[in-house]
C-alpha cells in the first residue's frame, strides 16, 4: 500500500513538472511570436516597465550633477570674493602711500621755498633715527662725508631754525648732536635787544639760562644765534625770579618738536 502511494506521488510530480515546462515554453513562444509580428509592442512593454527605474536613476544623477555644480559655483564665488577683498586692501595701501607722498612733497616744497642766504651751501638730509631711537638728544641723518658734510657743520630745519651740529661723521651717515643735549652750552642772543647769554642744554629740546635780574626779557621772546645769520635758536618759555637771588632763571624751548623732525639741512661751508 505504501509503495502504491509513493508511485502515485512520483507520477503526480512528473505530471506537474511537465505542465510547468510546457507553460514556460508556451510563454516563450508567444513572446517570440509577438516580437516577430509586433516588434515595437514588446519594446513598449519593456520601456513601460523600466521607465520608472530610468526616471529615478536620471533624477538621482541630475541631483548629484547639480549639487557638484553648485559646490563649484560657491567655491568660485568665495575665491572671487577673497580676490576682490585683497584687491581693495591693496588699493587702500596704494592710496595711503600716495597721501604720504603728497604730504612729504608739500613739506619739501615749503622747505625749499624758504630764503637761504647765497653764502650758505647746504645739503638736505633725511632723519633716520630720532632721540627716541638714538642717543639722548641726537639725530642720525642719511648724509655724510660723501655729500660734503664735515664735523661741526651747523644743522637746521625749516630754513631758519638751528637745532645742532654734526658730531660724528661717516661716509653716508652722520650723527647730529642737538644744542639741547645735556651739558651743551651755546652762546645766544635773547629778545629784541639780543642780550648775550649762554644757554645750557637740559635735554628734550629745552635750555636753561641765568641772567641778571632786571634784564628786560619776557616769555615768548625769540632766542637767536647771532653768529649764524641771526637764525632762530629757541623761544623763552618760562621766567623764574627769586627775590633772594640776583639772577633770574629763564627756560628756553625749541619752537619745534624734535621727535617730529623728518628732514634737516646741513650748512657745509661753515
Residue-by-residue pLDDT tens, the chain, 270 positions: 444 444 444 455 555 556 655 565 665 566 555 555 545 544 454 544 445 555 555 555 565 556 556 666 777 778 877 777 777 765 655 554 455 455 555 555 555 554 444 446 889 999 998 776 566 789 999 999 999 999 999 998 876 788 999 999 999 999 999 999 999 999 999 988 888 999 999 998 999 999 998 888 889 898 988 766 567 889 999 999 888 889 999 999 988 888 888 889 998 876
Number of DSSP helices (H) and strands (E) in the chain, helices first:
2, 12
Cβ-proximal residues to 263 (8 Å cutoff; 6+ apart), any chain? 107, 108, 111, 124, 125, 126, 127, 157
Long-range contacts of 199-204 (CB under 8 A, 24+ apart): 199/223, 199/233, 199/234, 199/252, 201/137, 203/136, 203/137, 204/131, 204/137, 204/180, 204/258
Q: Which of 152, 154, 135, 126 minimizes the C-alpha distance to 229?
A: 154
Q: Enumerate the domain spans of the chain.
A: 122-267
Backbone angles phi, psi at 20, to 5 degrees: -65, -40
pTM, two decimals, is: 0.57
* Integer Cα distance of 136 and 142 in angstroms: 18
Question: Angle at which helices 2-37 and 39-113 pack, to 10 degrees?
Answer: 60
Note the pLDDT of residue 56: 56
Distance, in Å, from the CA atom of 87 to the CA atom of 81, rounded to the nearest integer, reads 10
- pLDDT (0 to 100) of residue 266: 92
| Residues paired with 249 in a beta bridge | 210, 240
Q: How far apart are the first and last CA of the chain?
A: 150
Q: What is the structure's pLDDT at 137?
A: 87
Under CATH, which number does the domain 122-267 receive? 2.40.10.340
Cβ 123 vs Cβ 143: under 8 Å: yes
Amino acid at each position: 500500500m505504501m509503495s502504491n502511494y509513493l508511485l502515485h506521488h512520483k507520477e503526480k510530480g512528473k505530471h506537474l513538472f511537465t505542465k510547468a515546462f510546457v507553460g514556460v515554453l508556451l510563454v516563450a513562444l508567444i513572446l517570440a511570436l509577438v516580437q516577430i509580428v509586433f516588434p515595437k509592442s514588446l519594446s513598449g512593454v519593456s520601456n513601460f516597465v523600466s521607465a520608472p527605474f530610468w526616471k529615478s536613476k536620471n533624477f538621482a544623477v541630475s541631483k548629484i550633477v547639480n549639487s557638484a555644480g553648485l559646490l563649484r559655483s560657491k567655491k568660485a564665488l568665495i575665491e572671487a570674493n577673497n580676490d576682490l577683498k585683497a584687491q581693495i586692501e591693496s588699493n587702500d595701501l596704494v592710496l595711503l602711500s600716495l597721501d604720504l607722498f603728497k604730504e612729504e612733497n608739500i613739506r619739501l616744497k615749503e622747505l625749499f621755498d624758504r630764503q637761504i642766504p647765497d653764502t650758505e651751501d647746504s645739503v638736505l638730509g633725511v632723519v633716520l633715527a630720532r632721540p627716541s631711537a638714538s642717543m639722548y638728544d641726537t639725530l642720525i641723518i642719511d648724509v655724510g662725508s660723501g655729500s660734503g658734510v664735515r664735523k661741526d657743520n651747523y644743522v637746521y630745519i625749516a630754513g631758519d631754525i638751528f637745532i645742532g651740529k654734526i658730531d660724528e661723521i661717516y661716509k653716508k651717515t652722520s650723527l647730529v648732536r642737538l644744542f639741547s643735549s645735556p651739558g651743551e652750552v651755546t652762546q645766544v642772543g635773547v629778545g629784541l635787544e639780543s642780550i648775550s647769554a649762554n644757554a645750557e642744554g637740559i635735554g628734550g629740546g629745552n635750555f636753561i639760562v641765568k641772567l641778571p635780574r632786571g634784564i628786560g626779557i619776557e616769555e615768548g621772546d625769540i632766542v637767536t644765534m647771532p653768529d649764524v645769520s641771526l637764525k632762530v635758536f629757541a623761544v623763552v618759555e618760562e621766567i623764574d625770579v627769586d627775590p633772594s637771588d640776583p639772577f633770574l632763571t629763564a627756560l628756553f624751548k625749541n619752537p619745534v618738536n624734535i621727535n617730529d623732525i623728518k628732514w634737516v639741512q646741513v650748512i657745509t661751508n661753515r
